[in-house]
Structure 1
């Protein structure tokens, strides 16, 4: 089984024109009918840093969760955001971006890596006490634009540190679209041996023409948690000025079908409806 994490939050967060709250909510409600394992639907972060997500609380209030098994994930960048996110019973997963790049950690959360690790420890306790699951995204797992040296072994050391702290879900994030297929293969080959008890995921940013190949690679290396976004929309506005799109959900669905020989357990009609809505109202 592969858990598909659809990411409307990451798809929308870097768009310059503000998407009305009711449009965001309608789009996410359509995604809730598809059958994804989880929706990365919003974030509780500074509205100055990510203005597009300033209405996450209002969006949440308009979601219909009565007939879906899909879980909600919210991204936070500090303890204050985590405290706000865990106050909402509708949210099952709290996600935190931890980077192997000191520069990006400061750009993204205004903290050093060591300070961010202190935040991780505190948020992990909050999640345990409020029955939430904690996901740490290891940003810049496949390189960065800041001329800082990093490699797979450095990423794995950070992942092992998180595992020893008690983090059970770790997602390796290609924040700027710098990964190659070989990079993904090497990292997961090593990670699967030393982190066999963890749920390991991947969050890839790539050109649409590469999405199918990356999706196939993630499946081939045994990745159990894959993030994607319809249309390959989005990217990280905190990493650099130009956005590199997310792994396209359409490509992932096709790769799953080819890999398993069966259609993924998603409602493809509802998926099509959501995609048509995205094209008309989101981007």
Structure 2
């Protein structure tokens, strides 16, 4: 792998999903089209989920229809087989992503399914991906600990990564912090192991953090072999199913600053990114 190159996923879906005030569909399309010009590897643009569970995402199909052509891969989060079937109808969607938690409590809160039930869901989703020529991405949610007292350890992450990749044709595993529990030491420990053992799969860092910790966590993941990073402009968002107080997403601009400082290529156009950064204030108030 070229050490001077990383691949960034921008996550407006994650930034928007917990906002209770409705964001107009036209405004979402306007903002996402700015993001599609930036040169991100992937855009986590929406989710095919029950409107009751996540009202803000009920217009994902309409948003998709308004998006401009781009080389950026589109990713949709899906919570079950029905969501996968709905998403698979759209040829432009590249990744179907399922949030698989290694915390039983969070799996129930996030997808209304146990871990064992989730395995059956992933099997059905994987079959749809194979049939419809989509790539399967799995989040390992609560990947750096959980607030519920459920078992967690770096070894448990590796165990689940091994099981999931042996059972299913997974293109990308995203180690998702979810609650901002990761420290640079934990990130380095986890990614050092994962990056070595799963070199044939894209391993992505989806970290939720305070802005002041962003550079240290980015550096820890990169030095441990991670080359796929996920963030949201200004650190907007967080998982509304995780706990009452949200820890925001990794601020994309902080990652970009660190990569630029180290001379690491991101593929993102800085001028286009600046335009999207300014435009974000029209969406998030």
TM-score, structure 1 as length reference: 0.96
CA distance, structure 1, for counterparts of residue 217 and residue 264 of structure 2: 19
**Count of matched residue pairs:** 280
CA distance, structure 1, for counterparts of residue 157 and residue 110 of structure 2: 18
- Tell me the residue number matched to 1:169: 172
- Tell me the residue number matched to 1:252: 255
- Tell me the residue number matched to 2:135: 133
- Tell me the residue number matched to 2:94: 92
- Tell me the residue number matched to 1:280: 282
Of residues 100, 104, 122, the one that matches 1:120 is 122
**Structure 2 portions without partners, runs of 5+:** none
**Structure 1 portions without partners, runs of 5+:** none
**1:54 counterpart = 2:58:** yes
Q: Is residue 14–residue 243 contact of structure 1 (8 Å, CA) maintained in 2?
A: no
Q: Mean Cα displacement is larger for which, 161-170 or 244-253?
A: 161-170
- Tell me the residue number matched to 2:31: 27
CA distance, structure 2, for counterparts of residue 115 and residue 192 of structure 1: 28
CA distance, structure 2, for counterparts of residue 264 and residue 189 of structure 1: 21
**Offset from partner CA, 1:176-235 (integer Å, 9 cap, x none):** 001111111111111123222221111000001111111122211111211011001110
CA distance, structure 2, for counterparts of residue 258 and residue 162 of structure 1: 36
**1:190 counterpart = 2:193:** yes
CA distance, structure 2, for counterparts of residue 273 and residue 193 of structure 1: 37
TM-score, structure 2 as length reference: 0.95
CA distance, structure 1, for counterparts of residue 141 and residue 120 of structure 2: 17
Of residues 22, 41, 45, the one that matches 2:45 is 41
CA distance, structure 1, for counterparts of residue 258 and residue 139 of structure 2: 23
Of residues 213, 218, 243, the one that matches 1:215 is 218
CA distance, structure 1, for counterparts of residue 41 and residue 172 of structure 2: 14
- Tell me the residue number matched to 2:203: 200
